[in-house]
Amino acid sequence: MEHQPKKIVPILKHFQGMNKIDAFNIIHKLEVLLYYLPNPINMNNINPNDIISEIENKKIDPFHFSILPNGKPCEFVGQNDWLHIYKAHSTSIFGRYLMNNYYFKTKYNPLELKKFTKKNLLHSLKNKSEELKVVEFLLKYKVTKKNLITDKFLILSI
């Protein structure tokens, strides 16, 4: 513990002039990457392409937590083997949320949080194995369609 400040200060210098929100975003991405690295970390044996392909073969986000660029936390609401969905609350009146915004990550881009829209989902899955199934789903339903009984997104059952 006594040597920690000596290790932290050089790392913090890399964040010089950056918004705290962007720094938090980078730190979260580092946490996900560190989760998949072997212990102890040896930079001589680390190939960024290998790390990315290893992440793609595993879970999308092992922490089930994300932060938007504006600093608001996102709550994990559901997943399947290629998609994680998050909810961010917005507009609170008298302690009740009036509107929820949804975001997603895919196994093809596990570090990027995107707004959960038809356009963004199709763009993320372009030329991927799930693209055809999602296109068929979107012909019948909206991207945010939920099961009325379970309150789960129908797209997660694909």
Q: Give the whole-number percent of the chain exceeding pLDDT 90.
A: 28
Highest averaged pLDDT of the listed ranges 2-11, 56-65, 71-80, 137-146: 137-146
Q: Where are the domains of the chain?
A: 4-157
Give tens-digit pLDDT for 97-121. 667 889 998 888 877 889 999 999 9
- Each residue's pLDDT tens digit, 41-86: 777 777 767 666 665 555 566 666 677 777 778 888 988 888 999 9
Task: Give CA–CA dist 30/157, Å, rounded.
Answer: 30
Nearest of 96, 140, 146 to residue 116 by alpha carbon:
146
Beginning with the edge strand found earlier in the chain, give each strand of the sheet holding 65-67 in spatial order: 65-67, 73-79, 83-93, 96-106, 109-115
What is the pLDDT at residue 118?
95
Question: Three-state SS for 19?
Answer: coil
Length of the chain: 158
What does the alpha-carbon distance between residue 73 and residue 156 come to, in Å, rounded to a whole number? Answer: 22
